[in-house]
């Protein structure tokens, strides 16, 4: 089934090309599969209703990530109270990473997921975009609507925290 | 631990794949929500409210929030002004005025007793002058 919403917007193709990246970013950012799905759905409804949104986008992936980031922030604000409850009681310890083949790798990924969860949301977003989306600080700045220096400093703080947190495990399995 | 090595190690950690069953659901829902039929099936009032929300409120939500906050401030200030201007305050003012009149009367009595004057009748209040019709006023002027 091919879904063509309007001339110029192939929603299905858009999904196939970008949904995985949006999923990864949202999963890392929201730490919740339900929230990730909700935001992803919201984005595609928005795009289906307003295809003109994409007409001004120079970098489609960056534009979609920005849309995802803004929608996720809106959602997290709406769910502020519930999220605090989850954080407080650790009800959801979600890993955004694929299953590993070896126990060492599995332990590292679990520790990495936990360490990412301890970062502030905005640091996590920058670290994700730099490491797993391979964006430059300028692109990250544009995506998250922050100055490039802020993006760089958030990345530095974030990666330093991860390094400190994962150092023993990393040295062990290296 | 080398910084580049560590970052490369992180880059090599693959993120989970998006669940395959999401695709059709998400695309189907997006298509349904965006179709004109779905829009038309809603009652006109809800449709108008949704359009107003989408076009007018949502894009300028911070401005609207600011305006609402401003109105709240006005409302609170207004409510406080009403409280200070309440009947309780009026009653206090009236009672103070009555006390002052009574005191004045007592002083007047003492003054009369001291000066020996017997006339204790209260001063007649000035007669209220009512506006007369223009013709009557003209007669009064002529008679002078």
Tens digit of pLDDT per residue, chain B (144 long)?
Answer: 566 788 888 888 888 999 999 999 999 988 888 776 666 666 778 878 877 887 777 767 888 999 999 999 999 998 888 777 666 666 666 778 888 888 988 898 888 888 876 565 666 666 666 666 666 666 555 655
* C-alpha closest to that of A113 among A130, A95, A98: A95
**pLDDT recorded at residue A1:** 40
**A96 DSSP 8-state letter:** -
Partners of residue B31 in chain A, C-beta under 8 Å: 3, 5, 11, 48
Choosing among A132, A133, A172, which should be mutated to test the B contact, i.e. which has the most B CBs within 10 A?
A132
Query: For residue A47, which of A2, A16, A6 has the smallest C-alpha distance?
Result: A6
Per the CB < 8 A criterion, the answer to whether A137 and A148 are in contact is yes
- What the block records as the tokens of A36 is 């990730």
The two tokens of residue A129 are: 């975009």
Q: A30, A61, A94 — which closes off a domain?
A: A94
| Whether residue A157 sits in one domain with residue A101 | yes
Domain that holds residue A156: 95-174
What's the token pair of residue A154? 């958030």
Q: Which pLDDT score is estimated for B109? A: 87
Contacts of B30 in chain A (CB under 8 A): 3, 5, 11, 41, 44-45, 47-48
Q: Do A99 and A172 belong to one domain? A: yes
Together in a domain, A141 and A89: no
Are A12 and A70 members of one domain?
A: yes
Which of B5, B6, B31 has the CB atom closest to A3's CB atom? B31
pLDDT of residue A2: 42
Same domain, A81 and A121: no
Last residue within a domain, chosen from A58, A75, A94: A94
Q: Give yes or no: residues A43 and A16 share one domain.
A: yes
Chain centre to alpha carbon of residue A63: 13
pTM of full prediction above 0.90 = no
Mark whether A112 and A161 lie in a shared domain: yes
Query: Same domain for A8 and A89?
Result: yes
CB contact under 8 A, B6 and A48: no
Contacts of B13 in chain A (CB under 8 A): 97, 108-109, 112
Say whether A28 and B30 touch across the interface (CB within 8 A). no
**A85 and A2 together in one domain:** yes
Give the integer Cα–Cα distance in Å for B69 and B82. Answer: 20
Among candidates B110, B72, B39, B11, which has minimal Cα distance to A133?
B11
- To which H or E segment does residue A140 belong? helix A137-144
State how far Cα A1 lies from the chain centre: 28
Phi, psi of A77 (to 5 degrees): -65, -45
Last residue within a domain, chosen from A42, A63, A94: A94
3-state secondary structure of B15: strand
Q: Distance of CA B21 to CAs A93, A132, B24, B37, B78, Å?
A: 23, 24, 6, 25, 56
pLDDT of residue B124: 64
The rounded average pLDDT for each run of 10 residues, N- to C-terminus, in chain A (174 residues) is 51 92 93 90 91 83 92 84 54 71 85 90 93 93 93 94 84 64
CB atoms within 10 A of CB A130: 23
* Domain total in chain A: 2
Q: Which residue do the tokens 């974030």 mark?
A: A158
A83 with A102, same domain? Answer: no
CATH number for the domain harbouring residue A131: 1.10.10.10
Residues A69 and A13 both lie in one domain: yes
Per the rule left: phi > 0, alpha: psi between -120 and 50, beta: everything else, A90 is left
For the record, the structure tokens of B112 come out as 């009369």
* A5 and A90 fall within a common domain: yes
Domain boundaries, chain B: 3-110
C-beta pairs of A40-45 under 8 Å, 24+ apart in sequence: A40/A68, A40/B22, A40/B26, A41/B26, A41/B29, A41/B30, A42/A71, A42/A75, A43/A67, A43/A68, A43/A71, A44/A11, A44/A14, A44/A15, A44/B26, A44/B27, A44/B29, A44/B30, A45/B29, A45/B30, A45/B33, A45/B34
């Amino acid at each position: 089934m091919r879904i063509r919403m309007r001339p110029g917007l192939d929603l299905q193709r858009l999904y196939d090309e970008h949904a995985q990246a949006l999923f990864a970013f949202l999963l890392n950012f929201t730490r919740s599969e339900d929230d990730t799905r909700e935001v992803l759905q919201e984005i595609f409804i928005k795009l289906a209703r307003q295809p003109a949104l994409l007409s001004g986008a120079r970098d489609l992936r960056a534009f979609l990530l920005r849309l995802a980031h803004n929608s996720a922030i809106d959602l997290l604000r709406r769910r502020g109270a519930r999220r605090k409850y989850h954080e407080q009681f650790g009800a959801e310890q979600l890993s955004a990473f694929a299953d590993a083949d070896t126990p060492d790798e599995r332990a590292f990924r679990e520790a990495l997921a936990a360490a990412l969860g301890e970062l502030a949301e905005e640091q996590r977003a920058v670290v994700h975009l730099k490491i797993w989306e391979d964006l430059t600080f300028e692109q990250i700045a544009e995506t998250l609507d922050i100055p490039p220096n802020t993006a760089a400093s958030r990345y530095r703080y974030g990666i330093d925290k991860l390094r400190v947190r994962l150092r023993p495990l990393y040295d062990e399995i290296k | 631990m080398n910084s580049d090595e560590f970052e490369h190690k992180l880059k090599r950690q693959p993120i989970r794949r998006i669940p395959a069953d999401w695709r059709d659901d998400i695309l189907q829902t997006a298509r349904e929500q965006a179709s004109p039929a779905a829009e038309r099936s809603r009652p006109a009032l809800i449709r108008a409210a949704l359009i107003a929300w989408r076009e007018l409120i949502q894009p300028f939500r911070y401005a609207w929030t600011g305006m609402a906050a401003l109105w709240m401030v006005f409302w609170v200030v207004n409510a406080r002004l009403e409280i200070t201007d309440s009947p309780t305050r009026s009653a206090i003012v009236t009672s103070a005025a009555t006390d002052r009149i009574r005191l004045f009367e007592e002083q007047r009595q003492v003054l009369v007793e001291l000066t020996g004057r017997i006339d204790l009748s209260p001063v007649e209040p000035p007669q209220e002058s009512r506006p007369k019709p223009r013709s009557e006023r003209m007669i009064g002027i002529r008679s002078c």
